């Protein structure tokens, strides 16, 4: 088999969304699995709606997902000379012709066709006239009128189209700009694309494209049309289902590997396995395992999968992902080893990086703000004795490790007759300002002796000042 060459051809008329991102991922994974090539092509022939901002946003989303490309990005807007050459080939071979029918006349033909056969078609008025180029002429492809065109689809199976239901479609407008179906075929031929994986909203375009491949004497690529992504209510995915841009999920604190994993599972399966590393996906991804049923986008499942990926990733690998969220909160991170220790206390209980950054705040704040609930439950006069005793024990420690910390707490428990929880909860409130946090010994070790003792003393003063009031 020839080396597999796939492509992703977004239109830069907006941000990259879930459906487009999944198409990109499927093509990229298949190319990587087959040790082939993945090409990025920007389909920007719609000059009115295409923007540089959208191009940049697409690049940003793909780079965040970790999707790299072997060739490109190619821009259709810079390839018009190639399209003109291929249009001329079809004109010269008699497989395309000039048409001077006005838009009004064509619309009338379509209405008549709709009334007669339920198919709005151009009726071929100019097909055999041998017209020359004029200012108002379009160029139409001379489509097959008899027989069938068969789409051999590796996902959907064979789909048969009756050629008589198709018409002579336009391949170049009167201003010379080529049309979508034509440029896609020329691009795929000239770029050597031999595997086309795309959404099944393109199925109806495919018979036209197959005819163009044959007219240009080119071998057909392998086609695979992927079912659409639906919302939980089984309707087309929209913003109300969570169909935001890919970078919006990045900003919400999702890991790229988790989002990639979830996108792949929207329509592809490997047994009952849900969690995949990037390398596992590359190893296991095949077209045969893409299902025929639409994928259903479920934000709760995505969130759960993200939590699993955060939990599974070593703290040192999470540092670069968490840093932007800490910087947003104006936390200056000088020591990556300290940050790794912080992450280790939080990664088992964080569903997103936003949650983790919020939960990490007490590690970086100079002044701890006590939650009202923490004050009422734990920072009260009955906590003064155990807190003061613990401060003395901690000040005497030469090594601030878990074993010594446990002994310090045991000494306070023996002195006061209190159970661990009655001591640990006021300590937690003093160190974090909250009623819930990672394990108390973990926190103390990460914060270090000086900051722990300082915070405990501030809590003691806070309780004493409150008692005076």
Are the beta carbons of 300 and 163 closer than 8 angstroms? no
Among 129, 133, 142, 239, which one carries the catalytic annotation?
239
Are the beta carbons of 63 and 31 closer than 8 angstroms? no
Are the beta carbons of 428 and 362 closer than 8 angstroms? no
H/E stretch holding 15: none
Whether 422 sits among the annotated catalytic residues: the reply is no
Are the beta carbons of 291 and 227 closer than 8 angstroms? yes
Are the beta carbons of 435 and 377 closer than 8 angstroms? yes
Label each residue of 331-379 as H, E or C: CCCCCHHHHHHHHHHHCCCCCCHHHHHHHCHHHHCCCCCCCHHHHHHCC
Q: How far apart are CA 242 and CA 230, in angstroms?
A: 11
Are the beta carbons of 261 and 312 closer than 8 angstroms? no
Q: How far apart are CA 340 and CA 372, in angstroms?
A: 30
End-to-end CA distance of the chain: 84
Q: What are phi and psi of 70, to 5 degrees?
A: -90, -30
Are the beta carbons of 223 and 150 closer than 8 angstroms? no
Are the beta carbons of 179 and 153 closer than 8 angstroms? no
Are the beta carbons of 440 and 430 closer than 8 angstroms? no
Residues taking part in catalysis = 239
């Amino acid at each position: 088999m020839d080396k597999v060459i796939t492509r992703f051809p977004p239109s830069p008329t907006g941000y990259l969304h879930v459906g487009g991102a999944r198409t990109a991922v499927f093509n990229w994974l298949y190319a990587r699995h087959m040790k082939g090539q993945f090409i990025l092509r920007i389909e920007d022939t719609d000059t009115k709606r295409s923007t540089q901002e959208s191009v940049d946003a697409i690049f940003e989303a793909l780079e965040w997902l970790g999707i790299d490309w072997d060739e490109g990005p190619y821009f259709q807007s810079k390839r018009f000379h190639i399209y003109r050459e291929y249009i001329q080939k079809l004109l010269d071979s008699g497989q395309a012709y000039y048409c001077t029918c006005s838009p009004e006349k064509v619309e009338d033909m379509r209405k008549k066709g709709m009334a007669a056969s339920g198919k709005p078609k151009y009726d071929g008025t100019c097909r055999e006239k041998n017209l020359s180029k004029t200012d108002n002429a379009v160029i139409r492809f001379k489509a097959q009128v008899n027989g069938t065109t068969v789409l051999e689809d590796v996902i959907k199976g064979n789909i048969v189209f009756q050629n008589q239901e198709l018409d002579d479609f336009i391949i170049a407008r009167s201003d010379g700009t080529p049309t979508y179906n034509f440029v896609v075929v020329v691009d795929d031929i000239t770029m050597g694309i031999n595997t086309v994986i795309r959404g099944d909203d393109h199925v109806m375009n495919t018979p036209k494209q197959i005819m163009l491949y044959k007219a240009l004497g080119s071998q057909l690529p392998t086609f695979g049309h992927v079912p659409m992504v639906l919302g939980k209510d089984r309707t087309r995915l929209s913003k109300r289902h969570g169909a935001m841009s890919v970078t919006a999920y990045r900003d919400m604190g999702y890991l790229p590997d988790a989002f990639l994993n979830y996108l792949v599972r929207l329509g592809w399966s490997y047994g009952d396995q849900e969690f995949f590393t990037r390398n596992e996906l590359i190893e296991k991804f095949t077209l045969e395992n893409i299902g025929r049923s639409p994928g259903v986008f479920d934000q709760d499942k995505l969130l759960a999968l993200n939590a699993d990926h955060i939990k599974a990733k070593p703290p040192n690998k999470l540092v670069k992902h968490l840093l932007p969220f800490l910087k947003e909160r104006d936390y200056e991170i000088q020591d990556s080893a300290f940050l790794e220790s912080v992450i280790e206390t939080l990664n088992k209980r964080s569903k997103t990086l936003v949650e983790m950054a919020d939960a990490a705040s007490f590690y970086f704040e100079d002044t701890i703000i006590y939650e009202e609930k923490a004050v009422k439950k734990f920072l009260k006069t009955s906590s003064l004795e155990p807190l003061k005793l613990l401060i003395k024990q901690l000040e005497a420690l030469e090594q601030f490790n878990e074993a010594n910390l446990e002994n310090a707490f045991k000494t306070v428990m023996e002195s006061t007759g209190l159970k661990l929880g009655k001591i640990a909860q006021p300590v937690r409130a003093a160190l974090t300002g909250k009623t819930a946090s990672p394990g108390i010994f973990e926190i103390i070790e990460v914060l270090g002796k000086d900051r722990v003792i300082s915070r405990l003393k501030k809590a003691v003063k806070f309780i004493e000042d409150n008692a005076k009031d």
